[in-house]
Amino acid sequence: MRNGWFIQPNTPVLYDPRRWIEVIRREREENRNVAMSSDFVELPILAETPCGATAMPLVVGPADDTALPPAPEASTAPYVGRFLGLWCGFAANPGDRTRVASGGMVTTLLATALRNGTIDGAAVSKADFREGKLGYRFDIVTDPDQLAEYGGSAYFNIPLEQHWKQLDQFDGRLAVCALPCHTAILRRRQQSGRGLDKVKLFIGLFCGHNNEADLIRFVFEKEGIDESQVAEMWVDRSYLGGNFCVRYRDGSESAFPFRRFNVYRSLWFFSKQMCRYCDDHLGRAADVSIGDVFLAEYRNRPTKHSLAVARTEAGWKLLRAAVDDGVFCAEQVDPMVAVRAQKRVLVPSADSKSRYYACRLLGFPGGNLKRDRFRLRSFLTYSLLHLNDRFSQWRWGRTLLKWIPRPLLYGYIASIKLLNNTLGMKS
């Protein structure tokens, strides 16, 4: 596979992203004729990089697609599925990383696609409190400068698949940003000829599982936050920490550690029903899939990274266009990076028979029983998680949950991780 346009692996170099962007523009203007007739224009080495010790030399491709090499052939990797390339990085402009969950890649890709004319609108969503309670707002944004308002993760279920008529009514080409389950539903509708012809790009978000809005309401109540007075919420995350931030209608703000919310989310309290048997965590139906990189080698880097998986030629070209605009700092990685980064979700989730019997044990529909492997560790893990889900559905369970000290829940999570590691998590 040719690695043009992205930072190449295994060759350290230092550069400053602000000078980098300016040099890209100057080089493209001065060498426009050369760029249109050759494969690559190599940029000079610049000052210090924010990418850490593994920063790579940058090579930018010409603006004309006809002068570029063809997209590489698709490959397949266990757990990852079909892909044309994988890259790990972040938005070079710090402003594009404001209030984002990871490296700002989604916001940057959509903004780039709008600016270069690949799409005319981006279908995005965010949490909304205009009616005095937690809800969501679904919009089709045509101004790339407005996309930053929709950055970050909502951390509750937003039924985007219900807005397919709104997508069909838009006059122009669209990109849709959604979770794997919503992407798969919309893609099936498109492929079956039932609309969505204007959707040209699907950007999928990595997802371990999702939860209902009741979880956020539960945490707000436990933290003493009046939902009716909230105007906005967002998560300011670091590698594994960060804060859950709230702005009130009177302009004041408050925050509490993200782990106080994440402990309930990680234990599957108030889980979304479909997540009980879903096994698509990396957005297999999308053109580009993007998510977190939970790896030790990225933990101490100054900027949080995202992992992007190009699954189709359209997605591959979208990633290339982002680098052409000089807004990405990225390095090409092996598919095993994606597996290692999400292994605590991907590996046990693949044991569909174990998950089926865990669902049935707790009285939940388990989907279709497949002729697949059964592993005890997966069965025990999902049985505990579904027990938590069932517990949060009972009124007395929610009341009791408010009084359970969080340190006990932290220990509960640690015991589940120990269970996975002891019984063969690395397999």
* Span 332-348, pLDDT tens digits: 889 999 999 998 889 88
61 and 178 both lie in a single domain:
yes
259 and 401 both lie in a single domain:
no
What's CA 242's distance to the chain center, in Å? 17
92 and 183 both lie in a single domain:
yes
Confidence category of residue 167, pLDDT binned at 50, 70, 90: very high
Distance from the first to the final alpha carbon of the chain: 29
The pLDDT tens digits for 199-255 are: 999 999 999 999 999 999 999 999 999 999 999 998 876 655 688 999 999 999 999
Examine the pLDDT at 391 and tell me if it is beyond 90. yes
Contacts of 352 (CB under 8 A, 6+ apart): 277, 279, 367, 370, 372
Specify the pTM: 0.79
Residue 2 inside a domain? The answer is: no
Examine the pLDDT at 94 and tell me if it is beyond 60. yes
In terms of residue numbers, what domain contains 412? 351-422
Residue 5 inside a domain? The answer is: no
Summary mean pLDDT of the chain: 79
Query: What SS3 string covers 174-214?
Result: EEEEECHHHHHHHHHHHHCCCCCCCEEEEEEECCCCCECCH
**Domain-terminating residue out of 314, 344, 374:** 344
* Tokens of residue 409, six digits: 């829940």
Q: What is the CA radius of gyration of the chain?
A: 22
* Tokens of residue 250, six digits: 């009177």
Residue 427 inside a domain? The answer is: no
**Domain-terminating residue out of 318, 344, 370:** 344
Examine the pLDDT at 352 and tell me if it is beyond 50. yes
Confidence category of residue 282, pLDDT binned at 50, 70, 90: very high
* Tokens of residue 307, six digits: 């992992």
- Number of domains, the chain: 3
Task: Judge whether 321 and 315 are in contact, CB under 8 Å.
Answer: no
61 and 168 both lie in a single domain:
yes
Residue 315 inside a domain? The answer is: yes
- The mean-pLDDT minimum among 69-78, 401-410, 412-421 falls in 69-78
